[in-house]
Chain A
Amino acid sequence: MNILRILLGKRARKVPFSTLREILKMRFGSQRLLFQEYIDYRLHDLDDLNASERSRFLGNGRKFRLNYVCNDLHWFMLGEKLPMTLFMMATELPMPKIHAVYDLNGRNLPGAVTLNNLDEATDYLRTSRHYPLFAKPSHGAYGWGALGLRNYLPESDSIIFLNGQQRKITEWVESLNPEFARGILFQELLKPHPEIARVCGPRVSSIRVTSTRIGRRNTIVSAVWRIPTGSNMMDNFQHGASGNLLGGVNILSGQIIRVVGKVNGRIETVATHPDTGMQFDQYILPDWPQVTEICERAANYLMGMNLHHWDIALTERGPVIIENNEIADLDLHQHANRKGFWSEEIETVRQQSYPRYWEQLSWPQKKVADLMRKIDTFF
């Protein structure tokens, strides 16, 4: 069905055979770009990219293989927020302060309060001076389970969330699943940089910065500004489902190239922020030089990783590292920058990392990998 939509749709290109050849090659070749993704990226109805540029788009499924090759599996512990925070606490790099950890299996963090059971967690949250807080799972993705907590209301024994909603404390804490989340973190609620607050309203907005280690150098290869909208407490795009926007970033200057959002099921460019009405055109992200410097310094410490996906919040106290993703979505970059993720740098880092990846495979995996490598070779 999707093939027909691509080939015969209202805005289909006038050369259906070359298009058919292209989509099949990208679907079954190393790009693994699904027909649906081809449509989502609007490669079938916009003529703004040439064939070579289109061929650089990757299917989101490729993120696993790409990151497994580039990043040492033994370092994936840093994908969890608790160990990552502890690891980075040794440096002077800015990270949010974790005040308390709620976990039934005794996970903790030096310097933070350990909440071992439901009663301890509710008692902690009934203390007004602990607010405002930000709650998030130690192990999670797409911002699932992350919430801003504004205050405690003793008269109704409820929590008021940042978006104004209220819930009974016990009911909310019972709904948390610390075992699945590998610990729930109650951390400092970051305040947005004044410039970000002016454009996006009073909530934190972050940048996804992807960098590579090639030889001795860490280089930023792509960056995306995640723009929260409406009553969202998080800025995650969630493939467009969240209603948030994405901004493509010029990695040299921090200037916004374009902003997109999902409108009527399609990715469309957006000129102004829907809540504040501020124009995105020519907008330059605050503290961009500091962002690049922090990413470079932080990447130095991740010796086992050659492909980094940093989430950096732009706050009133400067850029703050939220996390590093060991495996990260590629669609963010491709939608925001309208540019395929596969670049010369990505190919170089992939090739450079291959011997280490290969070394860790078992004998049968090596046999399969040999075949996979042939398929993986981009053409």
Chain B
Amino acid sequence: MNELLTILRESPEPITRLYEAVLMKVGGHRLSFREYVDYQLHTDQILTTEDRRRFIGEDRKWRLHIRCNKKQWFMLHYKIPFTQFAMGGKFPIPKIYAIYDKNSAHYLPDTVLLDNEAGITEYLTNKAVYPLFTKPDDAMLGEGAAGIQEYDKLSRQLIYLNGERESVDNFARQIDRQSKVVLFQELLRPGKILASICGQAISSLRVTMGRTAKGLKIISACWRIPVGKNMTDNFRHGVSGNLLGGIDIETGKVTQVYSRKNNKVSPIKYHPDSGYRFEELVIPEWEHIIRMLMLTGKTMIGLNLQNWDVALTDRGPVITEINVFGDMDIHQYSNRQGFRSPQLEEVLAYSYRPYLSELSWITRKITPFLRKIDSLR
């Protein structure tokens, strides 16, 4: 209700925009009123009606990805099987040193396996190579991830990247108490340029690619920029305080950087910590990144819509993961452009036949009807 009032109150053409918001809420966009206002489509005077109608709601991500990606390939959502798959192809990925799994059910070549508190403590005090990065196997949006700079033998404490300290015994106990599988992996370091902009926290790109009848294409890309004491660069719909940069996919140039302030996503010119001016910045090794993803993407034959996370490190671009369901808001915020672009339509059209062929009889009957609803009007 508040959002509807906001549209009526703030919009230059209240009735038209209200009609548009309702249409986008109930149509194939499934853009909630909250999202319509968040994207500031109600006040926008730059985008055309057609441009605005390419924005889609976050909820759509499930259906979009299910239509493009085969369920049989969803194992790559998990970091351990993805890492093994990438190791097979010798793709640049962070090295996983150790895996904690209470049930000892996870294996990875050349990796230490830990299954209890004592084992974790022993590993961290005597065997681990610092600095380290830890994260849960199935983590999303950077949840539960931490960077450990070193282990202080005298105080038996772990020193985090942001300077905070924690007793190694407490850390091991916390991990052993929860049920998740935890990875201990190489801590990636930012390249020189990125370190001068964002400090020592790693910064990464989200590059979304799609398979069409003419091959793989880049659909959208954005740059996730860590700020303050954050050890990860995830935007988390703006809650994390990190920034998001839009990228011109042809050149790798950063088009605009956004931050969330006072509950509103708005452009920002300088990095708040380093004061670096973003204007004219080009993502280092952009062409190399695209070549690398094109090669890697070809092996992901069951995934037609691929959301890659690529860290910009001192050893070049490193693939940190592939998301079988990727958030779309980061693209829409950072590029000020709806995710449902003509390129995405090509991917959807290409994926539709194989998707349909795998459905049960009854679902196949419902799907063409849903497709009509799904189409943007």
Binding site for B on A (CB under 8 A): 72-80, 82-83, 85-92, 105-110, 182-183, 213, 216, 300-301, 303-304
Beyond A89-B89, A90-B85, A106-B215, whether A301 also contacts B107 by CB under 8 A is yes
Which residues of the partner chain A approach B89 to less than 8 Å between Cβ atoms? 86, 89, 109-110
Binding site for A on B (CB under 8 A): 70-77, 80-81, 84-85, 87-91, 103-109, 215-216, 295, 298-299, 301-302
Q: In the complex, how many angstroms separate the beta carbon of B169 from the nearest chain A beta carbon?
A: 26
Nearest residue (CB) in B for A306 is B105
Q: In the complex, how many angstroms separate the beta carbon of A306 from the nearest chain B beta carbon?
A: 10
Nearest residue (CB) in B for A92 is B109
| Complex CA–CA separation, A80 to B72 (angstroms) | 10
9 closest cross-chain pairs (CB), A and B: A89-B88, A90-B87, A76-B72, A74-B74, A90-B88, A300-B107, A86-B88, A110-B89, A77-B72
| Complex CA–CA separation, A88 to B91 (angstroms) | 14
Which residues of the partner chain B approach A108 to less than 8 Å between Cβ atoms? 298-299
Is the Cβ of A87 less than 8 Å from the Cβ of B109? no
| Complex CA–CA separation, A316 to B72 (angstroms) | 34
Which residues of the partner chain B approach A109 to less than 8 Å between Cβ atoms? 89, 299
Which residues of the partner chain A approach B72 to less than 8 Å between Cβ atoms? 73-77, 79
Is the Cβ of A73 less than 8 Å from the Cβ of B88? no
| Complex CA–CA separation, A301 to B77 (angstroms) | 16
| Complex CA–CA separation, A348 to B32 (angstroms) | 47
Beyond A83-B302, A108-B298, whether A91 also contacts B109 by CB under 8 A is yes
Q: In the complex, how many angstroms separate the beta carbon of B199 from the nearest chain A beta carbon?
A: 33
| Complex CA–CA separation, A248 to B196 (angstroms) | 67
| Complex CA–CA separation, A365 to B282 (angstroms) | 50
Neighbour of A83 across the interface among B74, B104, B216, B301, CB < 8 A: B301
Which residues of the partner chain A approach B80 to less than 8 Å between Cβ atoms? 303
| Complex CA–CA separation, A73 to B77 (angstroms) | 13
| Complex CA–CA separation, A354 to B15 (angstroms) | 54
Beyond A74-B74, A75-B75, whether A216 also contacts B299 by CB under 8 A is no
| Complex CA–CA separation, A39 to B85 (angstroms) | 45
Q: In the complex, how many angstroms separate the beta carbon of B22 from the nearest chain A beta carbon?
A: 29
Q: In the complex, how many angstroms separate the beta carbon of A42 from the nearest chain B beta carbon?
A: 36
Is the Cβ of A87 less than 8 Å from the Cβ of B84? yes
Beyond A77-B72, A77-B302, whether A83 also contacts B105 by CB under 8 A is no
Is the Cβ of A88 less than 8 Å from the Cβ of B298? no
Which residues of the partner chain B approach A85 to less than 8 Å between Cβ atoms? 88
Is the Cβ of A86 less than 8 Å from the Cβ of B302? no
| Complex CA–CA separation, A248 to B299 (angstroms) | 38
Beyond A86-B88, A89-B88, A90-B87, whether A216 also contacts B75 by CB under 8 A is no
Nearest residue (CB) in B for A75 is B75
| Complex CA–CA separation, A275 to B215 (angstroms) | 49
A-B contact pairs, 21 of them (CB 8 A): A73-B71, A74-B74, A75-B81, A77-B70, A77-B72, A77-B73, A83-B85, A83-B299, A86-B89, A86-B299, A88-B88, A89-B88, A90-B84, A90-B87, A90-B109, A106-B298, A109-B89, A182-B301, A300-B107, A301-B84, A301-B107
Q: In the complex, how many angstroms separate the beta carbon of A303 from the nearest chain B beta carbon?
A: 6
Is the Cβ of A87 less than 8 Å from the Cβ of B302? no
Neighbour of B71 across the interface among A74, A106, A183, A303, CB < 8 A: A74
Is the Cβ of A87 less than 8 Å from the Cβ of B301? no
Which residues of the partner chain A approach B216 to less than 8 Å between Cβ atoms? 106
Nearest residue (CB) in B for A216 is B104
Which residues of the partner chain A approach B85 to less than 8 Å between Cβ atoms? 83, 86-87, 90
Which residues of the partner chain A approach B77 to less than 8 Å between Cβ atoms? 74
| Complex CA–CA separation, A82 to B302 (angstroms) | 11
